[in-house]
Chain A
Amino acid sequence: MKHLIDILDLSVGEIDELIELAESIIAHPENYRESCKYKKLATLFFEPSTRTRLSFEAAMLELGGSVLGFSEAQSSSASKGESVSDTVAVVSGYADIIAMRHPKEGAPLVASMHASVPVINAGDGGHNHPTQTLTDLLTIKREKGHFDHLTIGLCGDLKFGRTVHSLIAAMSRYADVRFYLISPEELKLPSYVKTAYIKDKKIPYIQTTSLESCISELDVLYMTRVQRERFFNEEDYIRLKDYFILTPEKMTLAKEDLCVMHPLPRVNEISTAVDSDPRACYFKQARYGKFIRMALILKLLEANA
């Protein structure tokens, strides 16, 4: 493993190794406090993303390393017209590993072709966000104990939600998985995703517009936000943003051991009254994001605990 650009770059075995390492870090954080001493992580964020950037920075700091970088394109030389390839060629001389967020799809892949240090895709537009998927997988492992024999409901914006596409791709590689695809008609899962990862693999699935009708079947419920920036038309956004709201009333229909996840930030699709429910796992999920990024940095730097 040299770079991480797309979750499908990782084999199931490599994902298992990362999750195992993350669980070891959670159990014995003291063993990893100096694993990346004298190493530097560059966070090149060409668009703001507080949560992801802080998570990467916290991960590197907890490994004993240090961080440098920028949090928006305006404060980088991109504002002077420098190309991504030139930027990473320069930064490769200053840092041992790069985490890059960029509004253009494919920018981290271009970076990986020109960098002499490992590049991690920290989100490229609406395309890939592999460390979010690793976070989601670690959460499922921690909360459910396994990846197979699970019924997973994906709810909200399944059309533009890249985390949903990647999670389906990753989970489709495990045995006896079933999907409920819960969305309004306008935000259904794109057919190419459905074909590649569900239909072609003969995975059972049900497409529905009603969360209440299926919540009792679910082991995992993955909620997503309807993102304003994905709509050209404000009216459509306003009409669809409140389509699904998870409330304590709906939670009464769910299994006792349901795991409710959300990549965050949420707007109003999960009522804050659900936060105190022990089945609400989304804040734990954000915390797991730091541990899986620690594991990923260790693997890519081939650093020893």
Chain B
Amino acid sequence: MNIDSIHNGIVIDHIDAGRAMQIYSLLHLERLDCPVAIIKNASSSKMGRKDIIKIDADYNVNLDVLGYISPNSTVNIIKNGVRVEKKHIQLPERLVDIVLCKNPRCITTTEQEIHHIFKLTDPEKRIYRCIYCDTKAPEL
């Protein structure tokens, strides 16, 4: 894979420097068998430094993960070597099964089947709280 250009796939750009591995992990990109490139600390005129992830295949990215980890990132859809769409990310209102509640007294620790859901309670400080027990989502 040439990490400078991909033919069909997506490029997640403008990731806050140092966050790419968290996104890789939460998107479970290790499960993909296509080429995936992580570029850390690339220079950026806007951000100083940034991370980039390139995925060389059609992939339906969970935008809520990006919004949670790095809300300023962008998703570029590449078809036949040309960018056909650029998506700007927003802070998601809810996180569903992205992070787990760490409160040992929370019902999510014993009920196996329920979804782990956090809601955005403070957009300025980007604070999410568990809908079941109000515990803050784990620090990034």
The residue in chain A whose Cβ has the minimal distance to the Cβ of B101 is: A106
Asked if B106 is an interface residue, CB under 8 A from chain A, the answer is yes
* Contact status A105-B114, CB under 8 Å: no
* Contact status A106-B131, CB under 8 Å: yes
Interface size on A, residues (CB 8 A): 15
* Contact status A85-B114, CB under 8 Å: yes
| CB-contacts of B79-126 with A (<8 A) | 103, 105-114
Give the chain A neighbours of B113 by CB distance below 8 A: 83, 85
* Contact status B105-A105, CB under 8 Å: yes
Give the chain B neighbours of A109 by CB distance below 8 A: 107, 131-132
From known contacts A106-B130, A106-B133, A110-B132, infer whether A84 and B107 are also in contact, taking CB-CB under 8 Å: yes
| CB-contacts of A124-154 with B (<8 A) | 124-127
* Contact status A105-B111, CB under 8 Å: no
* Contact status A83-B111, CB under 8 Å: yes
Interface residues, chain A, with chain B CB atoms under 8 Å away: 83-85, 102-107, 109-110, 124-127
Interface residues, chain B, with chain A CB atoms under 8 Å away: 103, 105-114, 130-134
* Cross-chain pairs A/B with CB under 8 angstroms, 24 sampled: A83-B111, A85-B113, A102-B107, A104-B107, A104-B110, A105-B105, A105-B106, A105-B107, A105-B134, A106-B106, A106-B131, A106-B133, A107-B107, A107-B132, A109-B107, A109-B132, A110-B107, A110-B111, A110-B114, A110-B132, A124-B107, A126-B105, A127-B133, A127-B134
